[in-house]
Structure 1
Amino acid sequence: MIQYALKCDKGHGFDSWFQSASAFDALDKAGHLSCAICGSEEVTKAVMAPRVSSSAEVVSEKPLTQTRSDQEKALAEMRRHVEENADYVGPKFAEEARSMYLGSTPERAIYGEANGAEAKALIDEGIPVAPLPFLPNRKAN
């Protein structure tokens, strides 16, 4: 795993973990990176200082899975709500959303994956969609 400091074209800074440097490159090339704050798809690596640990480094007593801030609590609650109340349709999100909008499929709450071009096409067609600020559990690792 590798952690990168990232920034978007709007000046927002955030960081994220990737399986490897090549995994970051593949996601970037496929257009699957977006700003964690505003959703912009113009994301680049930011300048980072190397992380050097020493033997005197103090280990946090908080477990890694403990929620630390109100924002993290809100995101965890949003994830729980979406996963309990909507159907995961995976990479067929755009197809399913369009089908429901046209009346071919009964309306229901769905979530899944769409690249930037698919999302833009849905919005241009007047189909109401919104990005989620997290990856589905099936795609998080």
Structure 2
Amino acid sequence: EKENEANRNLIAKLLPVLDNLERAMAQAQKSACDSESCRTFVQGVEMIDGQFRKLLEAEGLKPFDDRGAAFDPVRHDAILAIETDGHPPDTVLDVVERGFLFNNKVLRPARVTVAKQPARPGGDPGAQDLPEESLEQEEGETDE
């Protein structure tokens, strides 16, 4: 039990390194690598990335990508809600930062964008039409 918790804590600390390695690989693939030494360097980093991922997976780390799934507050951290008719409300539209499971338990929730129902024409469906004096009275009450 203590060993599992120690492994969990160590792997959690390694996730930002894994994220940055992934970003570096994505940038390297976008960049023009004109020289043989540059291509060799990128291939070397790709090999290190693959080795690092295999090692972490062997220890119980598993990434997850829930695009299209229903939002789950245990597995997801919603950072943006986007109005759309193309998906049901609370559907994961995009993954900004991958989530990870460690031994089948959430180690880090995925940071995601989710669908929300578009506002209906004419304003917020939950808003009430209050007379102007009611708004002023409510504002006055909060100032005291």
Q: TM-score, normalised by structure 1?
A: 0.22
Q: TM-score, normalised by structure 2?
A: 0.21
Higher strand share goes to which structure? 2
Task: Say which structure, 1 or 2, has more relative contact order (CA 8 Å, 6+ apart).
Answer: 2
Question: Greater CA radius of gyration, 1 or 2?
Answer: 2
Higher helix share goes to which structure? 2
